[in-house]
């Protein structure tokens, strides 16, 4: 029988694949158009217009992936608790992700120590080192950072819409092709695009020939608008979270 933690991880991978497929469908053909403008006062310019925003199904698939990843961590703690106590059920367990060290040993059933009370001491100590309230740049830094992202995104998805925005890649995303010498560029757009709003994408110095044979190009990405991954590419951010959860689960399995 497949463990619940593994099933949750597989379900997260399923939703990740769904998000990937929907992202590719959204981007192909490109959901934008570029207009050339030859204005003697401003110079040769190119404007970009987003024809449609990302589909809500992308946000839903991303949210389902995030929720199943978070759930997989809780499941593996439950499974380890039952295994260690040799019981079929141990209540009130969870994988804590805490930003305040006082929450680890606080009284009552909300503390991190309480949630992990039924697992081996070495496992509890290892998970404590993964808590985001540890700030040192050591072996666990990238895991702590990713776990915090996962925790906060899961809360956002449960309590409000997980919004997405369509944006240019932050740096070096706008290119142009020209058979002659390099042209002087005075403005390049980087950042968010809004549906139905024309945005200046690329502008050359007024000394550049308005009739120059120039072809602009760019690529776009769908990004999160929620902190702590605001303006992070959705696909890359989800993959980073999956890799983190996989790594943490492998570490926890060593204590069974």
Tell me how far apart the alpha carbons of residues 253 and 67 are, in angstroms, rounded to a whole number: 21
pLDDT of 159 higher than 70: no
pLDDT of 216 higher than 80: yes
Question: Can you tell me the mean pLDDT for 116-130?
Answer: 97
- Which of the four pLDDT bands, split at 50, 70 and 90, describes residue 164? confident
| Residue with the two structure tokens 């549906």 | 195
pLDDT of 171 higher than 70: no
What phi, psi does 248 have (nearest 5°)?
-65, -40
Q: Kindly report, residue by residue over 217-249, the tens digit of the pLDDT.
A: 998 899 998 788 888 999 999 999 999 999 999
Give this prediction's pTM: 0.91
Say what the pLDDT of residue 140 is. 86
| Residue with the two structure tokens 């991954």 | 229
Average pLDDT, the chain: 92
Residues 6+ apart with CB under 8 A from 125: none
Tell me how far apart the alpha carbons of residues 37 and 32 are, in angstroms, rounded to a whole number: 16
Torsion over CA of 174, 163, 152 and 248, rounded to 10 degrees? -60
pLDDT of 120 higher than 80: yes
Lowest mean pLDDT among 48-52, 87-91, 159-163, 191-195: 159-163
Tell me how far apart the alpha carbons of residues 107 and 256 are, in angstroms, rounded to a whole number: 27
pLDDT of 170 higher than 60: no
Rounded (5°) CA angle 169-170-175 = 60
- Which of the four pLDDT bands, split at 50, 70 and 90, describes residue 169? low
Question: What percentage of the chain reaches a pLDDT higher than 70?
Answer: 97
Q: Kindly report, residue by residue over 4-17, the tens digit of the pLDDT.
A: 999 999 999 999 99
The domain locations on the chain are 4-253
Cα separation of the two ends of the chain: 16
Q: Kindly report, residue by residue over 13-54, the tens digit of the pLDDT.
A: 999 999 999 999 999 999 999 999 999 999 999 999 999 999
Say what the pLDDT of residue 168 is. 65
């Amino acid at each position: 029988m497949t463990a619940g933690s593994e099933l949750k991880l597989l379900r997260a991978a399923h939703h990740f694949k769904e998000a990937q497929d929907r992202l590719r469908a959204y981007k192909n053909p490109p959901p934008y158009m570029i207009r050339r403008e030859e204005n003697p006062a401003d110079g040769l310019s190119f404007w970009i217009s987003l024809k449609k925003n990302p589909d809500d199904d992308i946000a839903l698939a991303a949210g389902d992936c995030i929720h199943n990843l978070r759930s997989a961590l809780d499941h593996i703690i439950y499974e380890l608790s039952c295994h260690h106590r040799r019981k079929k059920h141990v209540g009130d367990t969870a994988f804590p992700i805490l930003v305040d060290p006082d929450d680890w040993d606080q009284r009552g059933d909300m503390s991190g120590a309480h949630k992990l009370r039924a697992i081996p001491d070495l496992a509890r100590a290892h998970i404590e080192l993964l808590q985001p309230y540890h700030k040192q740049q050591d072996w666990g830094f990238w895991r702590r950072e990713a776990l915090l992202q996962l925790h906060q995104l899961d809360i956002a998805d449960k309590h409000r819409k997980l919004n997405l925005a369509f944006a240019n890649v932050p740096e070096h995303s706008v290119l142009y092709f020209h058979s002659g010498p390099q042209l002087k560029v005075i403005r390049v757009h980087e950042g968010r695009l809004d549906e139905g709003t024309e945005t200046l994408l690329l502008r050359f110095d007024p000394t550049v020939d308005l009739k120059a044979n120039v072809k602009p190009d760019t690529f776009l990405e769908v990004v999160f608008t929620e902190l702590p991954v605001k303006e992070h590419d959705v696909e890359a951010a989800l993959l980073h979270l999956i890799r983190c959860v996989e790594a943490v689960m492998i570490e926890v399995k060593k204590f069974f």
